[in-house]
């Protein structure tokens, strides 16, 4: 599983990264968590508001920081 956090490096983006890493650990799954800060690549995904969360190439969230329970649900829905 590939999970991407898309953002400029702001506090919200870093919070989503931390939350996502915690969710992966709590779910005890194999996942590559990537923090993408290249704005051209972020725009290419269609996300216009960061932070963004993509799982296996599908945008799951944009423009907000979902809580741990939400992120865990997004991940399990993709398994």
Mean pLDDT (the chain, rounded)? 97
Residues 55 and 20: beta-carbon distance below 8 Å: no
Confidence (pTM): 0.95
Query: pLDDT tens across 9-48, in order?
Result: 999 999 999 999 999 999 999 999 999 999 999 999 999 8
CA atoms within 13 A of residue 10's CA, in its CB half-sphere: 13
pLDDT at 3: 98
Nearest to 66 by CA among 29, 17, 30, 9: 17
Domain spanning 2-78, CATH class: alpha beta
Tell me the Cα Rg of the chain: 11
Catalytic residue among 2, 8, 9, 10: 10
Annotated catalytic residue 1: no
Domain limits, the chain = 2-78
Q: Out of 3, 6, 13, 31, which one is annotated catalytic?
A: 13
Is 79 marked active-site? no
């Amino acid at each position: 599983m590939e999970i991407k956090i898309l953002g400029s490096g702001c506090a919200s983006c870093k919070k989503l990264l931390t939350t996502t890493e915690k969710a992966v650990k709590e779910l005890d799954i194999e996942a590559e968590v990537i923090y993408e800060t290249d704005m051209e690549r972020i725009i290419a995904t269609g996300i216009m508001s960061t932070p963004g969360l993509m799982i296996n190439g599908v945008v799951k969230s944009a423009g907000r920081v979902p809580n741990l329970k939400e992120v865990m649900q997004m991940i399990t829905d993709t398994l």
